[in-house]
Chains A and B, each alone.
Chain A
Amino acid sequence: MGIRRDVFQAIADPTRRAIITLVAMQAMTPGAIAENFNSSRQTISKHIQILTECELLKQEQTGREIYYHINAKKMKEVADFIEPFRNMWDDRFNKLEDVMKKFKPKK
């Protein structure tokens, strides 16, 4: 399932965003995560699976329990809001430049 690895799809879901927020504060077991939601454990476990496939969460075995940690590196990649903002202005200014270059001969 290549599509699953799309980070943007992963964080487009409000439950998954809530899971990220929880795990960001401390590493948690799947059970502890699920306790915070009204959804079934299976539903939450599916969300966790998607987040893990997207590498937003990392698994770590501690004794008999599996703990989920936030993958800071991947999160930083996603949290970089500036690049899309810069791209928006770059596109807009490229357009301005094109429009004004065409305008030139009419002067």
Chain B
Amino acid sequence: MERKTKVDAEKGRHDLIVTREFDLPLDLLFKAYTEPELIEQWMGTKVLKLDNKKDGGWHFQTSYDGKVVFEANGAYHEFIPEQKIIRTLEMHNAPFGVTLEFLDFEKLTDDTSKLTMHVVYRSAAHRDENLKLPFSYGINMAHDQLEKVVSKLKQK
């Protein structure tokens, strides 16, 4: 089951759309976004705050070895169960600023559902910074891998 997740990011635009179809009924898909214990499992982050309502706030934080490695927070602007979430998001120390996210949850069949995530950035440049993030991570990984290989060679 490859290519279930699609990213539509047209060049020069300040937004992007991520869509995904799930082998999950709509209520379970929505639950994954509203229960702190579940978010902690699939996002791998600690949920410090999660007010599931309009005007509510949310705050996630991930620590590793006592250091904060990921932190993000924002506010809900709309919260309609099993339909729609509109929220802002700011990832701390990230180069792409505050984003506005429109999450649409749709029922496909009794057992399948679809999520459409429309993310709006301040500018096209900000959006591209976010797109590059996992890419640079890939570079670092390649770099680490290389260092491992080289250090092994040195041992010989």
Pair count A-B, CB < 8 A: 86
C-alpha spacing A96/B20, complex, angstroms: 11
A43 on interface, CB distance cutoff 8 Å: no
A63 on interface, CB distance cutoff 8 Å: no
| Bitwise interface map of A from 91 to 105 toward B, beta carbon under 8 Å scored 1, else 0 | 011111111110110
Choose among A3, A87, A92, A97 the residue that contacts B43 (Cβ–Cβ < 8 A). Answer: A92
Number of interface residues of B (CB under 8 A): 36
B51 on interface, CB distance cutoff 8 Å: no
B6 on interface, CB distance cutoff 8 Å: yes
B38, A100: Cβ atoms closer than 8 Å: yes
Beta-carbon nearest neighbor of B132 in chain A: A81
Given the complex, which residues of A lie within 8 Å of B137, measured CB to CB? Answer: 84
B1 to chain A, nearest CB (A): 9
Number of interface residues of A (CB under 8 A): 27
B24 on interface, CB distance cutoff 8 Å: yes
C-alpha spacing A87/B135, complex, angstroms: 10
Given the complex, which residues of A lie within 8 Å of B7, measured CB to CB? Answer: 82, 85-86, 89
Please provide the 6 A-B residue pairs with the shortest distance between their CB atoms, ordered closest to farther.
Answer: A8-B142, A90-B5, A84-B134, A96-B42, A88-B134, A86-B7
Q: A9-B146, A97-B23 are in contact. List 13 more A-B contacts (CB 8 A).
A: A3-B149, A12-B140, A82-B131, A84-B135, A90-B4, A90-B20, A92-B42, A93-B20, A94-B4, A96-B22, A96-B42, A97-B22, A101-B23
- A-binding residues in B (CB < 8 A): 4-7, 9, 18, 20, 22-24, 28-29, 31-32, 38, 41-44, 115, 128, 130-135, 137-140, 142-143, 146, 149-150
- B-binding residues in A (CB < 8 A): 3, 6, 8-9, 11-12, 81-82, 84-90, 92-101, 103-104
